Amino acid sequence: MDDAELIARIAQQDATAFEQVYDRYAGQALGFAMRIIAERAVAEEIVQEAFWRVWKRASSFDVQRGNLATWLMGIVHHLVIDELRRRRGQTPTGGDDLDSDIIGNLASGGAGATDQVWDSLRRAQIREALAALPEAQRSVIELAYFEGYTHQEIAEKLKEPLGTIHTRARLGLLRLRTLLADLRLNP
């Protein structure tokens, strides 16, 4: 079954479909969480919560707005950022070296060779796209999306006006969208 069929069945509380989605994406979700949080136990709890939310909110998933993997990784990302914000008194454990695979390190340990090659190519393209951004835009995106800082906190940290941070984030994300448009294609 494809992801659209699986999520429709999960919305009807089909446990077998849920197990298939878990088998398909759990490794990918854990790898993604681990790259940012760098603590396996915490990353496992985050993935468990993310899948719980998929189970509870499957009926709200809109196939027209994206695919299941993107939706799931978005949930994982938000949960990881929430955890980093809870720890704000501590130095975040992840996000220090974004150019060495934090974004897009989504290859599942159980993926086949073709999937691993495709994931590797996507990671390289994402790193290249991030590197193509001006430093000011790249740093704002890294601080916001991988270290969990709000735009206000970034403005204070970088000693820049809040409007400047908003502009850098918007321009950087628009540029990344353009640079990464080809990643939406499947192998």
Domain at 80, CATH number? 1.10.1740.10
Quick one: what percent of the chain has pLDDT higher than 90?
A: 38
> What length does the chain have?
187
Query: Residue 158: which CATH number?
Result: 1.10.10.10
- Looking at residue 131, its pLDDT comes to 86
Q: How far apart are CA 79 and CA 54, in angstroms?
A: 13
Domain boundary among 94, 129, 157: 94
On whether the CB atoms of residues 94 and 40 are closer than 8 A, the answer is: no
pTM comes to 0.56
pLDDT score of 48: 94
Which residues touch 155 (CB under 8 Å, ≥6 apart)? 161, 162, 164, 165
Q: Is the pLDDT of residue 39 over 80?
A: yes
Domain count, the chain: 2
Asked whether residue 3 falls in the same domain as residue 90, the answer is yes
User: Residue 130: which domain range?
Assistant: 98-187
Q: Do 87 and 104 fall into the same domain? A: no
Tell me the C-alpha distance between 107 and 123, whole Å: 9
Mean pLDDT of the region 39-62: 92
Q: Does 126 score more than 50 pLDDT? A: yes
Residue 9 contacts residue 17 (beta carbons within 8 Å): yes
**Predicted confidence (pLDDT) per residue in 90-109, tens digit:** 444 443 333 333 333 333 33
Residue 105 and residue 74 in one domain: no
Chain centroid to CA 113: how far?
22
Residue type, 171: L
